[in-house]
Amino acid sequence: MRNIVQKEDKVLREKARELKPEEIKSDEIKNFLKQMSETLVDYDEGVALAAPQVAKPLSIFIVSGRFFSPDLKIKDEEEVKQPKTKDIVFINPKITRVSKKRESIPEGCLSVDGVQGEIKRSSKVTIEAFDENGTKFTRGASGLLAQIIQHEVDHLNGILFIDSAKNLRKITYDR
């Protein structure tokens, strides 16, 4: 498990480096992806995590497998020990299409602890990326997943949601 860095950390403002194809399946990246998943599973309120958030400015983000199985309890002890759902890995992601339609939606970030605000996001996006096996894939997303993808790709460009969000306010999570 790794620590999630907070908004003051300069690593969050770096542009993430793309991985070379031969790097993707290396032991180093395999271990790193495992550490990212172990970190994310520990945060009830987290649905995704970008590599710069754990202080590695690489072009990688993951979306929690829990997000795709809403019937699973968000923090099921068994699930933490032995996940039934794999996190979805996006390496060198590129958003290739965005809908003109944008919506203002509430958002937060594990690197901006306890703050929420409204941000304008495209309702639909198409993303291209490589998975953990180095296979390229394209995926369309709408709603919350489209929002997550835009938030995570912003992280890889050194952008935080608080840079453009409105009505920033403190929130507390039940832990």
State the residues that interact with Zn ion by CB under 5 A: 109
Task: State the CB neighbour count (10 A cutoff) for residue 173.
Answer: 10
Instruction: Copy the structure tokens of residue 169.
Output: 């306010």
CB of 62 to Zn ion, least distance (A): 12
Q: Which residue is nearest to Zn ion (CB)?
A: 109
Task: State the CB neighbour count (10 A cutoff) for residue 30.
Answer: 12
CB of 169 to Zn ion, least distance (A): 17
Instruction: Copy the structure tokens of residue 42.
Output: 């520990």
Instruction: Copy the structure tokens of residue 122.
Output: 């495209």
Please say which residue, 63 or 109, places its beta carbon nearer to Zn ion: 109
d(CA 101, CA 115) in angstroms, rounded, equals: 26
Please say which residue, 53 or 92, places its beta carbon nearer to Zn ion: 53
CB distance 88 to 68 below 8 Å: yes
Please say which residue, 134 or 160, places its beta carbon nearer to Zn ion: 160
Q: Is 28 one of the catalytic residues?
A: no
Please say which residue, 107 or 132, places its beta carbon nearer to Zn ion: 107
d(CA 38, CA 61) in angstroms, rounded, equals: 13
The distance from CA 154 to its chain's CA centroid, rounded to whole angstroms, is 10
CB of 116 to Zn ion, least distance (A): 12
Choice among 77, 78, 103, 152 that is catalytic: 152
CB of 19 to Zn ion, least distance (A): 20
Which amino acid is located at 174 in the chain? D
Residues labelled catalytic: 152
